[in-house]
Amino acid sequence: MQYAKAFLIKLVLTLGVLFIVLGLFFNVSLADIIIISLALAIIAFIGDMVVLPKIGNMIAAAGDLILSFLVVWGLGSYLFDGDISLMSTALLSSLFVAAGELYYHRYLRDHVFINVDKPNNISRVNHSHRMQMEVADDFHDLQPKESDKK
């Protein structure tokens, strides 16, 4: 249930940001915004579940910036009208999406993952088996005793 809630938050965040940037600034149709938002939310959510626990918030946000730029640019080349500047729409929307992702990753860290910003992180689903080393004092008996030296 926590993953479904996290996905819905990501979808609403992405849809809201893209509606503001693409819809208000560049007059992109609502159907195109919904298509791009769904594609971006699905791909980025899978990436967040796999990558975020391993690399942390800032690097994952940078990856989301690149991913959102590529998705908006790639899908926009098929969906947008020819009079829209594709490079500026992709750049501006990816900057706003990445800014929102910083807060979204905090939500994931606090409610979905355990220790996201620390090395060797684990999520609540993937429990790693930690290995331990046992040390004994048996090697101390190999040293010659004072009575053995005589």
Task: Tell me the domain boundaries of the chain.
Answer: 2-119
Categorize the per-residue pLDDT at 120 as very low, low, confident or very high, splitting at 50, 70 and 90: very low
* pTM exceeds 0.95, yes or no: no
Condensed to tens digits (0 to 9), the pLDDT of residues 59-73 reads 888 999 999 999 999
C-alpha dihedral over 9, 46, 53, 65, to 10 degrees?
Answer: -80
pLDDT given for residue 63 in this prediction? 92
Please state, in angstroms and rounded to a whole number, the distance separating the CA atoms of residues 75 and 68: 10
C-alpha dihedral over 20, 22, 26, 31, to 10 degrees?
Answer: -110
